Amino acid sequence: QKNIHEMMLDWLAAGLDPQKSILFVQSHVPEVMQLHTLLSMVTPLSWLLRVPTFKEKVKLQPHNVNYGLVGYPVLMTADIVLYKAEVVPVGEDQLPHLELAREIARRFNNLFGNTFPEPEAKLTSFPSILGLDGKEKMSKQLGNDIEIALSDEATIERVMTAVTDPARRYRDDPGHPEICNIYRLQRYFNPLQLDDIAEQCRSAKIGCVDCKMLLAREINSTLKPFRERRATLAGRPKYVTSVLADGAQRAQVIARET
């Protein structure tokens, strides 16, 4: 429940409007699992075994390969097509899952008549953002992210742990912004100073610590209005609960029609 509440605070603070977007907890709409069961009956196992993210997770946990792992894309498909979604905002890493959802919807339609639209992907200007570790995509689960709820001080501390230019060993060494993860993150938060940062990095006028501090300040400046809204919403727990309850009712109406 705490995780649900915290996520809702983030979404609402980021600007999602409950009047325009139906926000709800997946498990509060039982039709999702019902459709998931039906879709699993028409989805060949071979389709699921070829999903790149499944192969990656098998390497990470070879002794715990279960249906929950292999069947997750079918559940994701049910989440999408149950509400007749035509466009889905996703990260780049989710494109294989969405393509599979299209295939499952197409197969279901071929077997039982035109029922579901084939959802299209909607990518942002930055479809994939590398985490602070410089290895994996930014993810709360991996602990390489920057949370909206962090204080300014905690944000600075988090950014200071980030991996930088692996080829720059000393402060006076010339930097290589093209291979530095902090520079990549500057593109999102500090685009107007990119050229200047790159020049100062290459000439060693600024060091990695300086660059991190500049990034942290820009992140805090960008997130300030979100954090202020979040703090206000955190003082209204009943409102957040009511948004979820109303969203579940609205979602279930659509789900039952499907």
Same domain, 210 and 247: no
pLDDT in tens, the chain (258 residues): 999 999 999 999 999 999 999 999 999 999 999 999 999 999 999 999 998 888 888 888 889 889 888 999 999 999 999 999 999 998 888 899 999 999 999 999 999 999 999 999 998 877 778 899 888 888 888 889 999 999 999 999 999 999 998 889 889 999 999 999 999 999 999 999 999 999 999 999 999 999 999 999 999 999 999 999 999 999 999 999 999 999 999 999 999 999
Distance CA 2, CA 112 (A): 41
How many structural domains are present in the chain?
2
Q: Which residues contact 125 (CB under 8 A, 6 or more apart)?
A: none
The CA-based dihedral angle spanning residues 16, 19, 23, 29, taken in that order and rounded to the nearest 10 degrees: -170
| Candidates 2, 55, 59, 140; catalytic one | 140
Same domain, 198 and 123: no
**137 included as an active-site residue:** yes
Same domain, 174 and 80: no
Write down the pLDDT at residue 134.
86
Q: Which domain holds residue 185?
A: 152-229
Write down the pLDDT at residue 231.
96
**205 included as an active-site residue:** no
Same domain, 247 and 123: yes
CB 145 within 8 A of CB 7: no
| pTM assigned to the model | 0.82
| Candidates 20, 122, 137, 224; catalytic one | 137
| Candidates 2, 57, 59, 84; catalytic one | 57
The domain that contains 53 carries what CATH number?
3.40.50.620
Same domain, 242 and 166: no
